[in-house]
Amino acid sequence: MSDHTKYEIVKAFKEFDQNEDKKLSKEECLKYWETNFPLLNSDKMISQVDKDGDGEVSYNEWSEFWEYLYNLGYSEEMIVSEV
């Protein structure tokens, strides 16, 4: 994965992580998606990315999720457009 794609993944995480605790809470996700089906998007994202089941998405879980999609064959362009 290119440095540009990794940069975009980090940038997106920081946009979600409003309190800068390096975890994405449901509340932060709701605020981020406030006009685009926030509850549905938040619940879906957390359920797919939260590997340790603590109800939050750590930076490691976040980056591993995007790396996983890249390894499945998603292009970097697709990943950058989704983050």
Mean pLDDT in runs of 10 for the chain (83 residues)?
93 92 90 72 87 93 93 92 83
> Helix/strand/coil (H, E, C) string of the chain?
CCHHHHHHHHHHHHHHCCCCCCEECHHHHHHHCCCCCHHHHHHHHHHHHCCCCCCCEEHHHHHHHHHHHHHCCCCHHHHHHHC
pLDDT for res 58: 95
pLDDT for res 37: 63
**54-72, pLDDT tens digit by residue?**
999 999 999 999 999 999 9
pLDDT for res 38: 64
3-82 is classed in which CATH architecture?
Orthogonal Bundle (1.10)
Q: What is the pTM of this model?
A: 0.79
Residue 20 phi, psi dihedral angles, 5° rounding: 55, 35
d(CA 10, CA 6) in angstroms, rounded, equals: 6
pLDDT for res 23: 94
* C-beta separation of 40 from 48 below 8 A: no
Residue ranges of the domains in the chain?
Answer: 3-82
